[in-house]
């Protein structure tokens, strides 16, 4: 009572009248142990309520059966799904996951990785800053690393990315296809990889259709709902009012929807709106949002699997670099009547998103 009893392998050995080596063997059912001694050992362990010390074990085996996960943030559906995917992928191999967030800067990430030395077998990390290759390689010398959505591939690191460019290209192409040619963009924050790639997709889609870029229609944003609202107000007040707006993420699209609604602008009648990410509520806003679906769960699961395969692969195996598709999801916020609406497939009875909220 109150005092934490610490039963070690030694007391079990004494109680079972064997050596600690034998107890160890029983618990790792490694070598040959008599059924009788095994029984005695297990009985003693049970009686003493012995819990093996995983930390000590991994010191000798140099295997922790844990992987580290370093993310810039934990806020929102995206990161939560990434973690869920990793957790699921890791569970298959009985790996524990050690998460740590608020690591936006590369130095932070290296420091965090450092503090993980000796407690993880490998690392999954999202490192958003430019020019981080050298320091990432420094981490990769210590343990296998899988990069999430890396800015560029790093030698010796596996990676799993989402094709932001293709997704943005597809959504803008869609807007053009249904007749728009004055298309604005609500940009993401400066320095953000995803934001940059989405902007590039927008620009190239315009170029591919022979439309010239319009700097006045490239509005600054930072992925927040309020930035979307402000961006909408700015567009309405500006000299040239676009007929369509591509918001670089759904939160901004939702804010934009709010601004347009407040201003009495009909969507999609007067203006088409598209987002990116396909967050859960994208279907529920009014009108339901045309957007680009990003499978964060799969991103995580694939990363976990990639890491596992690197943990098991012999030295020198080439790391894999996967890219997941980002697919256009047409709903009604762009009013494309000629395309079959995705919502037709999303009845309430479908299993999509219908899992329990709290178990």
Q: Nearest approach, Cβ of 340 to its own copies (angstroms)?
A: 20
- Nearest approach in angstroms of CB 285 to DNA is 52
Dihedral of the CA atoms 81, 86, 87, 91 (nearest 10)?
150
Nearer to its own copies, 100 or 133 (CB): 100
Q: What is the contact mask toward its own copies in residues 152 to 191, using x (rule: CB under 8 A)?
A: -------------------------------------x--
* Distance of alpha carbon 287 from alpha carbon 250, whole angstroms: 13
* Residue from 30, 32, 315, 338 in contact with its own copies (CB under 8 A): 315
Nearest to 294 by CA among 307, 309, 282, 306: 282
Residues 62-81 that bind its own copies (CB under 8 A): 64, 66, 72-80
Phi, psi of 290, rounded to the nearest 5 degrees: -75, 130
Of its own copies, DNA, none, which one sits near residue 150, judging by CB under 5 to 8 A according to partner kind? none
Q: Which position among 15, 25, 67, 125 is part of the footprint of DNA (CB under 7 A)?
A: 25
| Residue number with CB closer to its own copies (17 or 262) | 262
Sequence-distant (≥ 6) Cβ neighbours of residue 273 within 8 angstroms: 244, 245, 247, 253, 256, 257, 260, 267, 289, 290, 333, 334
- Is 325 near its own copies (CB under 8 A)? no
Hey, which residues between 14 and 43 contact its own copies (CB under 8 A)?
Answer: none
202, 244 contact by CB (below 8 A): no
Q: Does 249 interact with its own copies (rule: CB under 8 A)?
A: yes
Among 20, 27, 42, 100, binds its own copies (CB under 8 A): 100
Q: Of the two residues 50 and 223, which places its CB atom closer to DNA in the complex?
A: 50
- The reply to whether 263 sits near its own copies by the rule CB under 8 A is no
Residue 20: count other Cβ atoms within 10 Å of its Cβ.
14
Q: Which does 25 bind (CB under 5 to 8 A by kind): its own copies, DNA, none?
A: DNA
Least distance to DNA from the beta carbon of 156, Å?
A: 21
Q: Restricting to residues 118-157, which ones interact with its own copies according to CB under 8 A?
A: 118-119, 128, 138, 141-143
Whose Cβ is closer to DNA: residue 38's or residue 192's? 38
Query: Binding residue for its own copies (CB under 8 A) from 46, 102, 152, 312?
Result: 102
245 in contact with its own copies (CB under 8 A):
no
Q: Which stretch binds its own copies (CB under 8 A): 39-47, 52-60, 206-214, 238-246?
A: 52-60
CB atoms within 10 A of CB 266: 11
Contact by Cβ (8 Å): 326, 162: yes
User: 349-354 contacts: CB < 8 A, separation 24 or more?
Assistant: 353/280
Contact segment (CB under 8 A) with its own copies among 91-99, 176-184, 305-313, 329-337 equals 91-99
Partner that binds at residue 64, options DNA, its own copies, none, CB closer than 5 to 8 Å by kind: its own copies
Rg (CA), the chain: 26
Cβ nearer to DNA, comparing 27 with 181: 27
Site stretch for DNA (CB under 7 A), options 47-55, 150-158, 167-175, 289-297: 47-55
Interface contacts to DNA, rule CB under 7 A: 6, 8-10, 17-25, 27-28, 30-34, 36-38, 50-53, 56-57, 59-62, 118
């Amino acid at each position: 009572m109150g005092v934490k009893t610490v039963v070690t392998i030694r007391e079990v050995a004494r109680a079972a009248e064997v050596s600690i080596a034998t107890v160890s063997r029983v618990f790792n059912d490694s070598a040959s142990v008599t059924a009788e001694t095994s029984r005695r050992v297990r009985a003693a362990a049970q009686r003493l309520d012995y819990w093996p010390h995983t930390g000590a074990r991994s010191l000798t085996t140099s295997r922790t059966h844990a992987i580290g996960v370093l993310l810039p943030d934990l806020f929102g559906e995206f990161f939560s799904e990434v973690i869920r995917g990793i957790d699921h992928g890791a569970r298959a191999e009985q790996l524990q996951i050690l998460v740590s967030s608020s690591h936006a800067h590369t130095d932070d990430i290296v420091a965090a990785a450092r503090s993980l030395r000796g407690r993880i077998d490998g690392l999954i990390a999202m490192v958003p800053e430019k020019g981080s290759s050298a320091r990432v390689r420094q981490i990769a010398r210590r343990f296998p690393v899988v990069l999430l959505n890396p800015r560029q591939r790093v030698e010796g690191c596996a990676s799993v990315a989402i094709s932001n460019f293709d997704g943005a290209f597809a959504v803008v192409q869609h807007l053009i296809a249904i007749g728009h040619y004055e298309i604005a963009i609500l940009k993401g924050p400066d320095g953000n990889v995803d934001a940059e790639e989405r902007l590039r997709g927008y620009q190239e889609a315009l170029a591919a259709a022979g439309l010239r870029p319009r700097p006045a229609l490239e509005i600054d944003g930072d992925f927040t709902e309020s930035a979307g609202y402000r961006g909408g107000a700015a567009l309405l007040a500006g000299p040239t009012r676009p007929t369509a707006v591509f918001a670089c993420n759904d939160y901004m699209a939702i804010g934009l929807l709010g601004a347009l609604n407040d201003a009495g602008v009909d969507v999609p009648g007067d203006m088409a709106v598209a987002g990116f990410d396909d967050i859960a509520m994208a279907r529920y806003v009014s009108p339901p949002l045309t957007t680009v679906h990003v499978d964060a769960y799969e991103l995580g699961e694939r990363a976990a699997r990639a890491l596992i395969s690197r943990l098991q692969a012999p030295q020198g195996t080439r790391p894999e670099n996967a890219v997941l598709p980002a697919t256009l999801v047409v709903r009604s916020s762009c009013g494309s009547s000629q395309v079959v609406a995705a919502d037709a497939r999303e009845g309430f009875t479908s299993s999509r998103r219908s899992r329990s909220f709290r178990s």
